[in-house]
């Protein structure tokens, strides 16, 4: 803001100078009225020629008559355009900063009142299942869990709320499970933080209907499939716009944050995959992060934050694993990352443990510490912890590992099956 005010002052001063400079006639009259007789000056015996003020005025007039004022006008206009363009950029930067501050206010207030984000995943398809809702409500009212992650766009390409987005109408992929009022009713159970999970570049419906936007299989001459998963090309503008529009509508529906999942390239080394841009580290990372940056800016304008699910190994791997997820770059373009540090997903021998799944506390601590050692702010890491294939004690050890590092956490279970004993009860 100080720079803007300084620029405005500079233009004002410059305009005042030109105002005087462009009207020499008035200046000459003032100077003639104040002319002093040369004869009154005392001089030595040496003869000295003294140029009169009238001669000075005459010289100025001659210069002005020969000066092309159109050049001055053109230069002034050019300077003004540059200046005001600079001011506009600065104002946009201020607006973006204010939008980010506003979007962060809700979670800052929430964390101040609740100390920590402690969340569980609710499968969107099960939102209206009576027994599932009863189970989730029981956890919310009896434990310190205060956050729900709910699907808004699923792995199958379905949209779980009513929308008028053109591609959704064309694809006929709505499977409405909840409304704005339904989300509001959840907040009446308890003061909770709502995260909308949005599957991004894994989308079988979009890939099949818009094959030109998908990763292509040159061997089979059709969209590439990896064990039944179809991936969109991360550089596709049509795919990116589709996702952003869903994210914005999800935000307006009542979510506090949008969480991108499958924000990556296929986890495959197939030589038959074809992309619109060369499949190398630079392009992968740029395509992922430019999309994230644009998404975050637009969501901040709506009052929502943006997070991204990532593979757990990116906390340790300093490249991108061939999928475009690089820790140092992705962390700069989202508000939070949720690395999936599931002990069962680490290979034998990881972090020195022959069977990582049997050492949840140690493995998760080691993985998250790798990120901290690389300079990542702990407040930007909110890991997805393992809520499947583990006992209640194991799940508590998952949670303890994140909590001991003073990190927020989320629990993943695809069927949203949780037990009260996995979480700290409010009475305690």
CA distance 179 to 5: 47
Kindly give the pairing relationship between strand 273-274 and strand 216-217. antiparallel
Contact by Cβ (8 Å): 184, 254: yes
Most distant CA pair in the chain, distance = 117
CA distance 159 to 176: 7
Residue 214 token pair: 């998908």
CA distance 252 to 87: 31
Domains and CATH numbers, the chain: 2-67 (no CATH), 115-422 (3.20.20.80)
Which residues are within 8 A (CB) of 339 and not within 5 positions of it... i.e. 6 or more apart?
Answer: 309, 310, 311, 312, 314, 315, 367, 368, 371, 381, 383, 384
Count H helices, E strands: the chain? 13, 13
DSSP string, 42-67: ---SS------HHHHHHHHHHHHHHS
pLDDT in tens, the chain (428 residues): 656 655 666 556 555 555 455 444 444 454 455 444 444 545 455 555 555 667 766 776 776 667 666 776 777 777 777 877 666 666 556 756 677 787 899 899 999 999 999 999 999 999 999 999 999 999 999 999 999 999 999 999 999 999 999 999 999 999 999 999 999 999 999 999 999 999 999 999 999 999 999 999 999 999 999 999 999 999 999 999 999 999 999 999 999 999 999 999 999 999 999 999 999 999 999 999 999 999 999 999 999 999 999 999 999 999 999 999 999 999 999 999 999 999 999 999 999 999 999 999 999 999 999 999 999 999 999 999 999 999 999 999 999 999 999 999 999 999 999 999 999 998 65
CA distance 155 to 269: 22
């Amino acid at each position: 803001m100080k720079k803007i005010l300084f620029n405005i002052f500079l233009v004002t001063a410059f305009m005042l100078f030109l105002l005087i400079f462009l009207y020499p006639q008035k200046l000459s009259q003032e100077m003639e009225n104040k002319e002093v007789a040369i004869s009154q000056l005392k001089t030595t015996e040496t003869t000295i020629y003294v140029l009169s003020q009238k001669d000075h005025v005459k010289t100025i007039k001659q210069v002005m008559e020969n000066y092309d004022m159109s050049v001055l006008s053109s230069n002034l206009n050019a300077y003004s355009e540059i200046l005001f363009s600079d001011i506009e950029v600065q104002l946009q930067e201020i607006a973006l900063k204010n939008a980010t501050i506003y979007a962060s206010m809700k979670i800052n207030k929430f964390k101040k009142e609740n100390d920590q984000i402690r969340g569980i995943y609710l499968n969107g398809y099960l939102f209206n299942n009576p027994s599932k809702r009863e189970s989730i409500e029981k956890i919310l009212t009896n434990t310190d869990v205060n956050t729900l992650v709910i699907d808004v766009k699923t792995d199958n390409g379905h949209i779980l709320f009513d929308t008028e987005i053109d591609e959704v109408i064309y694809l006929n992929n709505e499977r409405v499970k909840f409304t704005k009022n339904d989300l509001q009713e959840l907040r009446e159970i308890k003061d909770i933080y709502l995260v909308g999970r949005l599957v991004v570049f894994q989308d079988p419906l979009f890939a099949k209907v818009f094959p030109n936007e998908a990763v292509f299989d040159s061997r089979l001459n059709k969209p590439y499939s990896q064990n039944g998963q179809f991936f969109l090309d991360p550089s596709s503008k049509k795919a990116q716009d589709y996702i952003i529009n869903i994210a914005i509508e999800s935000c307006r529906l009542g979510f506090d944050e949008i969480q991108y999942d499958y924000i990556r390239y296929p986890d495959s080394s197939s030589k038959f995959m074809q992309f619109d841009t060369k499949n190398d580290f630079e392009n992968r990372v740029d395509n992922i992060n430019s999309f994230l940056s644009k998404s975050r800016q637009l969501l901040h304008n709506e009052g929502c934050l943006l997070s991204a699910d990532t593979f757990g190994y990116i906390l340790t791997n300093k490249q991108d694993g061939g999928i475009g997820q690089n820790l140092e770059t992705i962390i700069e373009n989202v508000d939070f990352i949720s690395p999936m540090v599931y002990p069962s997903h680490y290979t034998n021998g990881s972090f020195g443990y022959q069977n990582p799944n049997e050492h949840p506390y140690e493995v998760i601590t080691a993985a998250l510490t790798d990120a901290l050692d690389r300079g990542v702010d702990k407040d930007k890491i909110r890991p997805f912890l393992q809520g499947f294939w583990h006992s209640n004690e194991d799940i508590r050890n998952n949670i303890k590992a994140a909590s001991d590092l003073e990190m927020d956490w989320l629990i993943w279970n695809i069927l949203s099956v949780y037990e009260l004993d996995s979480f700290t009860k409010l009475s305690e």
